[in-house]
Structure 1
Amino acid sequence: MTTLWYTRCPVPTASGLAHRLGWLADELGEVGVLQDAPPEIARHHFDHDLPGLFREGGNVPALAARSEGARTRLIGLTWIEEAQSVLVRPDSGIAGAAGLRGARFALSRWAATRAESFPRAMALHGAKGALGQGGLTLDAVEFVEVEQPPGEWSWPGLAELTAGAVDAVYVKGARAAEQAVAAGAVVAVDLDAHPDPATRVNNGTPRPITVHEDLLAERPDLVVRFLVQTLRAADWAAGDLAGVRRILAGETRSGAAGVRAAYRDGFHTRLRPDLSPERLDLLGLQKDFLLEHGFLAADVDVAAWAAHEPLERAREILAERAVA
């Protein structure tokens, strides 16, 4: 049998909870964690060229890989609000989305590949969402390219914001929330506060779960069993906020304050993946944006990418267990 691997981003995911709780190992046997693998294996987090890989992570690498011919299938989508905002210096005079007109906005440089350029894609789409709230478009700001700081956990643009080299920077998540406090930055635009979720479409919203199509074709039972434990972990999370926060502190490498600041009340009740038309449409918005701005090698048919059967079967199995 193909060696099974699992990879995820440092964010709240039901599959990540299932992994941390030991349920994936109990269900599937030994599962290698890509983040702990040698570089020649770990790189497949971005290209998904590994037949036994389950991936739950940002949609930029997943869509970029698919656009370049990666033989993957989409088996679930999640939507977790992750404190997306645009930060400024407290003395900037910028207040609200309309105040960003003319601002110097931090934009990560292109990385070695499209998939690895997700920080640039995030900043660009975050800027679009924020500016749109003020009736502005991307040409209303001056983008200033910034380097990815040393260390994978440092948010690009914050150092430049503190130094006065840029006026605004997009951030999201627990670790960035902690770093923003340390930098003395303040929120100019709270993207989470807007009622339209389309304004928050970005790398992690919605977040895809993908598998290699060979694994799905040859061992669909393993894919279903992975999803059973993922759904089970989502149900567990809904009833144990304290437990979820403890695990997330490790997943995100942030303290309790960062987790509390980054994730809105009730987030732990909404970790179940689905492939609803609404989420597929939101992923389609992200795909269109990435294609327009050069992050995809070719168009991706999101509807054809999705494989609905494994998630439907996993739900059936859990429902059967509930009445047994």
Structure 2
Amino acid sequence: MAPPILWFTRCPVPTATGIAADLGWLSAEFAPDGIAVRSLQDGVSPDEAETHYTHALTGLFREGGNVPALWARARGERTRLLGLTWIEERQAILTRRGEPVTSLDGLRLAVPRRDISIDFWRAMALHGFAGALRADGRDLADAVLVEVEAAKDAPQWEAELTALAKGEVDAVYVKGALAVEAALRHDADVAVDLDALPDRRARINNGTPRPITVHQTLLDERPELVVRFLAVLLRAADWAAREPTELRRILSAETGAGGDAVARAYVHQPLHPDLSDERLGLLAEQERFLRAHGFLETAVDVHAWADPAPLTAARELINKETP
């Protein structure tokens, strides 16, 4: 029996899921089957909204940060990894304007703390700083980590950048389009442009690589729905490559940032997922970092977590439909 509802959730970043939702393609795909498609971002109950992190909702597809996805898996939730994307997201370390910094060695680094199920903000800052320090032959032990309390619903980076402006910390990790706007608002300088570092491992973080996951229950009971959902995402990724102007509009709506910030933060690049050895290896490195810093209760074997069959079947489905 078909589920009455398929759920999806995504983070406010470039995703094929967000594009497909904006275009109405997800609803259109499943409406003939009498299956409703709903987003966790559309005014659901607090318990339902929390499944963005826990993935306890069995009919849920999630395209978002890897910290909550790995955390849910490590806690025993029966999810499967369907694909990974890699989107360069304007990752940077900011410092006060007019105070040039050549190294993070010995500096006070802002490490936010939020009272949420899994503090991915904290994880992002730690790994962002670790990537910058590693490029300089250093590690987190060579800097001073300063706790910065942030309200659960505080705007992105505001608590950390306020601490920077007050002189309480020397550096802040940021990413994405909203970070571009926040840096301008707080008159901060880019001390380390992580996107410019030649080793992409310096940019491994919550969104790099970004996973698409589904609950094992749905995959077991209705694998064809999973394949069709992924096929819609692949079509949306193809569309995004052909429509840069419309893509910019959608990403502005998805991220909450202006068009200029979107253009500066997100280099035009493919949104297509894969499960290549390279991306799985990058995710495995993120898993080790998160476990080493206490974010994961148990180890996650990312290769065992991945199931390539649905994405392969989705590509085959598209090829059959293409004249």
TM-score after normalising by structure 1: 0.95
What is the CA deviation profile of residues 205-224 of structure 1, one whole-angstrom value per residue up to 9, with x for unaligned ones?
00000000000000011100
Partner residue, 1:167: 170
Structure 2 CA distance, aligned partners of 1:190 and 1:48?
33
Matched, 1:35 2:41: yes
What does 1:87-126 align with in structure 2 at a 5 Å threshold?
87-95=94-102, 99-109=103-113, 111-113=115-117, 116-126=118-128
CA deviation vs aligned residue, 1:63-115 (integer Å, no higher than 9, x gap) = 001000011000010000000000000132313xxx211110000126343xx
The corresponding residue for 1:231 is: 234
CA contact (8 A) 2:115 2:151 kept: no
Q: Which moved more, 1:255-264 or 1:241-250?
A: 255-264
1:195 aligns with 2:198: yes
- Report the CA distance between 1:150 and its aligned residue: 6.4
CA drift of 1:151 comes to 3.7
For the pair 1:55 / 2:55, whether they are aligned, the reply is no
* Contact 2:115 2:152 (8 Å CA) reproduced: no
Partner Cα separation in structure 2 for residue 61 and residue 69 of structure 1 = 13
Please state how far the C-alpha of 1:149 moved relative to its aligned partner: 4.4
Deviation at 1:153, TM superposition (A): 3.3
Q: What are the within-5 Å matches in structure 2 for residues 1-324 of structure 1?
A: 1-2=2-3, 3-29=5-31, 30-36=36-42, 37-95=44-102, 99-109=103-113, 111-113=115-117, 116-149=118-151, 151-155=153-157, 156-264=159-267, 266-267=268-269, 270-323=270-323
Instruction: Give CA deviations for 1:190-242 in whole Å, capped at 9, x if unaligned.
Output: 00001211110000000000000000000011100110010000000111111
CA distance in 1, matches of 2:250, 2:68: 25
SS at match of 1:73: strand
1:235-292: CA deviations, max 9, x gaps? 001111111100000000010111011112x32xx10001111100100000000011
Q: Return 5+ residue gaps in structure 2 as ranges.
A: none
One-letter code aligned to 1:229: V
Distance (Å, rounded) in 1 between the aligned partners of 2:239 and 2:186 = 36
Q: How far has the Cα of 1:154 moved from its partner?
A: 2.6
Letter in 1 for 2:69: A
Amino acid at match of 1:182: R
Rounded to whole Å, the distance in 2 between the matches of 1:81 and 1:132 is 19
Distance apart, 1:133 and its partner CA:
1.3
Asked if 2 retains the 8 angstrom alpha-carbon contact of 1:87 and 1:170, the reply is yes
Percent identity, aligned pairs only, is 55
Q: Secondary structure at the match of 1:43?
A: helix
The verdict on how the C-alpha distance between 1:74 and 1:150 changes in structure 2, with shifts beyond 3 A counting, is closer
Determine the C-alpha separation between the residues in 2 that align with 1:61 and 1:94.
Answer: 32
SS of structure 1 residue aligned to 2:150: coil
d(CA) in 2 for partners of 1:174, 1:152: 17
d(CA) in 1 for partners of 2:75, 2:151: 28
Separation in 1, partners of 2:152, 2:284: 33
* Distance (Å, rounded) in 2 between the aligned partners of 1:205 and 1:13: 12
Code of the residue aligned with 2:210 in structure 1: it is R
Quote how far apart the aligned CAs of 1:322 are.
Answer: 1.7
Contact 2:82 2:211 in 1 (8 A): yes
Alignment partners' CA distance in 1, 2:292 and 2:85: 24
Query: Structure 1, unaligned stretches of length 5 or more?
Result: none
Structure 1 residue matching 2:232: 3-state secondary structure: helix
Q: Give the distance between the partners of 2:64 and 2:106, measured in 1 at CA.
A: 33
Q: After the TM superposition, which parts of structure 1 deviate over 4 Å for at least 4 consecutive aligned residues? A: none
State the distance in 1 between where 2:248 and 2:295 align: 33
SS in 1 for 2:41: helix
Provide the alpha-carbon RMSD of the alignment.
1.2
- 2:7/2:61 contact within 8 Å kept: yes
CA distance, structure 1, for counterparts of residue 55 and residue 16 of structure 2: 20
User: Does the CA contact (< 8 Å) of 1:228 and 1:317 recur in 2?
Assistant: yes
In 2, the alpha carbon distance for the partners of 1:148 and 1:74 equals 31
Is contact 1:153-1:175 (8 Å) kept?
no
